[in-house]
Amino acid sequence: MTARVAHRHIDVDGVDVFYRESMPDRPDAPVLLLLHGFPSASHQFRRLIDAIGTRYRLIAPDYPGFGQTQAPEGFSYSFDRLADIVEGFVDRVGLTRFTMYLFDFGAPVGFRLALRRPEWVAGLIVQNGNVYAEGLSDTARAFIALTPEAPGAEQTILNLFTLDSTRAQYEGGTVDPELVAPEGWLLDQFFLDQPGRRQAQLALAYDYHSNVAAYPDWQAWLREQRPPTLITWGVNDPFFTAAGAKAYLRDLPDAALHLFDTGHFALEDHLPQIAPLIARFLDDTYLGTTIEPSKTEAPGTASRS
């Protein structure tokens, strides 16, 4: 069976937020808030929602500046403001306790929520969502260091918004690019090319340094709160290295870590391996099951449970 999925809009402080959510039969189904990355939107989770949305309530908003969400003219794009809108969204749809899926930009958005509203967080699923300095590749460090005043900085960032770059983020690091559906990166590019979107992304790129500055606070929150955590990571990510995945274990020694031989968008070619891990984690977190972590990994993966 595949999930029934609703596609909706809701106003949050003048922002028309688009979101999709699965509609499981159980009203008390565990809730998973899916926080997408750059340059994508909630559509990056469509196959995951289809796969496990019959058993769990998966809910995925598009941030301002992404996907089908529409922000008013003059909206100030920063990671704090993205978190403001997602926090308002959670309030508007009535979520009170949930697991967060943190991918890429979803990590800085999600950890801002966690510090503001720790009572919301039942658990974390982290997929290539970095919050450790050692997880930043040289490419990522150089990109984060760009400032509006630096010669050529704006063009360097704008080069990331091209079709070739968007496609490379999906296919780069994969063992078999034929497993990556082209509509993902084509749809991302469609939204990147909409009026005003490049300026929004440019502003967020210049603001990324605020996330690195907050890493110590987010790590302290992990040590203090010790949320149940599942980490899945594509080790060939050109931005966030496997060292960033392993660093979580310093603050969360009981976390389950699974490394996959793929790139940034690990769900694109490893959904059959990752979806069961997510389902087992949600069952264990919400239902109190005692399922042992899997000791069997797909070829080219490694685990630390």
Summary mean pLDDT of the chain: 94
pLDDT value at 295 more than 50: no
**pLDDT number for residue 288:** 67
Task: Please report, rounded to a whole number, the percentage of residues in the chain having pLDDT higher than 70.
Answer: 94
**pLDDT number for residue 287:** 77
> Is residue 264 annotated as a catalytic residue, yes or no?
yes
| 31-35/98-103 β-pairing | parallel
Catalytic residue among 36, 43, 264, 270: 264
> What average pLDDT score do residues 100-107 get?
98
Q: How far apart are CA 204 and CA 112, in angstroms?
A: 15
Q: Please give the model's pTM, rounded to 2 decimal places.
A: 0.94
